[in-house]
Amino acid sequence: MDDIILKRFENPDEVRTFEKGKFEVINLGGMTIGRATYQPGWKWSVDVSPLSGTDFCEVEHLGMVISGQATCAFKDGDVHTMKSGDLFYVGPRPHDSWVVGDEEYVSLHFQGADKYAD
């Protein structure tokens, strides 16, 4: 095993593309790390749901918002907005998400990236 491995999202191991967005994946040190990039108007239930085969996202997420804002709305009615600089945990409870405003949304995902939009 190498003592150091360097990777960059400019050269990801995998890119999962969908309408108005992409999810870049890097496998490193036994972890799967993702970078989500969503354009204004992106919504999980519209742009990713058809690929996943479910009405709501049920993936557990742990990450950090790099830029922009997104709202996470749980099926049971809880609604939260995540902004640049926020660290977030979203449990596997069914939820939808969408970009807020006219700015591109970018976030890093340290948990759940192996299952997201796959």
Whether the per-residue pLDDT at 5 is higher than 90: the answer is: yes
pLDDT tens-digit profile of 61-118? 999 999 999 999 999 999 999 999 999 999 999 999 999 999 999 999 999 999 998 7
Q: Residue 49: phi, psi to the nearest 5? A: -50, -45
Distance of alpha carbon 55 from alpha carbon 87, whole angstroms: 25
Q: Residue 44: phi, psi to the nearest 5? A: -55, -50
pLDDT of residue 29: 92
**Number of DSSP helices (H) and strands (E) in the chain, helices first:** 2, 9
Whether the per-residue pLDDT at 50 is higher than 70: the answer is: yes
Q: What single DSSP character describes residue 93?
A: S
Q: Where are the domains of the chain?
A: 14-111
Work out the pLDDT band at 2, boundaries 50, 70, 90: confident
- Distances from the Cα of 37 to the Cα of 2, 5, 30, 41, 91, angstroms: 30, 24, 23, 12, 20
The pTM score is 0.94
Of the chain, the percentage scoring pLDDT greater than 70 comes to 99
CATH annotation of 14-111: 2.60.120.10
For the record, the structure tokens of 57 come out as: 């996202």
Average pLDDT across the chain, whole number: 96
Chain centroid to Cα 95, Å, comes to 12
Distance of alpha carbon 11 from alpha carbon 72, whole angstroms: 29
